[in-house]
Amino acid sequence: MKKAEKIQFILDTLDGLYPQAECALHYTHPYELLIATRLSAQCTDERVNKVTPALFEKYPTLEAFASADFDELCEMVHSCGFFRGKAKSIIEMSQTILEKFNGQVPDNIEDLTSLSGIGRKTANLICGDIYGKPAIIADTHCIRLSNRLGLTTSKNPEIVERQLKAIIPPERQTKLCHNLVHHGRAVCDARKPNCGECPLKDVCVYFKHL
């Protein structure tokens, strides 16, 4: 199978397996996705989704987050781990969005990564899910699966992002990343991938070398 055919096969197979795949974090407003994603660092989406309903109720606007009491916010996000750093950046990013971006979550990587605590992974998630722009969200699942499948050759998120951007059609990039998260959780586990049940095994480099 030629490389272009292999890529097409992977994209179509994953779309068929996970037609509804999307970000697992719950949110209503764009800034809420930004905050939920900040909380999800070194934490599970499940845990974040347990914390955010009360959090978004207590702080119903960006202004409320910008003027939040640091200690109170720490207490609310405590169970997500690294709570001091997360609370600090949530307050700072909210202030910056209000002061520098007229209360609108930025729609480009450069401005997003200028916010406190926001890296390229989160910036791409916002660009893809909020603004519908082509985006490669190089999280742990994306990096592991794209390497195993032979689509990428690095564990470095920025290189993975660049390599995938070069070979995946723009309109399919964001959905591919959500599909990879779902496939990573359901089949291609970090320690014990269930290759025998995987519809991608015929094109998978990792499986070929088992």
Nearer to ligand SF4, 91 or 149 (CB): 149
Closest to 44 (Cα-Cα) out of 76, 81, 73, 78: 81
Q: Which residues 6+ apart lie within 8 Å of 56 measured at CB?
A: 27, 28, 32
Q: Is position 200 an interface residue for ligand SF4 (rule: CB under 6 A)?
A: yes
| Active-site annotation holds for 121 | yes
Q: How far apart are CA 136 and CA 34, in angstroms?
A: 16
Q: How far is the CB of 9 from ligand SF4 (least distance, A)?
A: 12
Out of 149, 151, 164, 168, point to the residue binding ligand SF4 (CB under 6 A): 149
Q: How far apart are CA 112 and CA 121, in angstroms?
A: 10
| Active-site annotation holds for 15 | no
E-strand stretches of the chain: none
Write down the catalytic residue from 6, 86, 129, 139. 139
Q: Is position 194 an interface residue for ligand SF4 (rule: CB under 6 A)?
A: yes
Out of 148, 175, 178, 182, point to the residue binding ligand SF4 (CB under 6 A): 148
Q: How far apart are CA 57 and CA 50, in angstroms?
A: 13
Q: How far apart are CA 16 and CA 179, in angstroms?
A: 10
Q: How far is the CB of 134 from ligand SF4 (least distance, A)?
A: 23
Please list the active-site residues. Answer: 121, 139
Residues that bind ligand SF4 (CB under 6 A): 145, 148-149, 187-188, 193-195, 198, 200-201, 204, 206-207
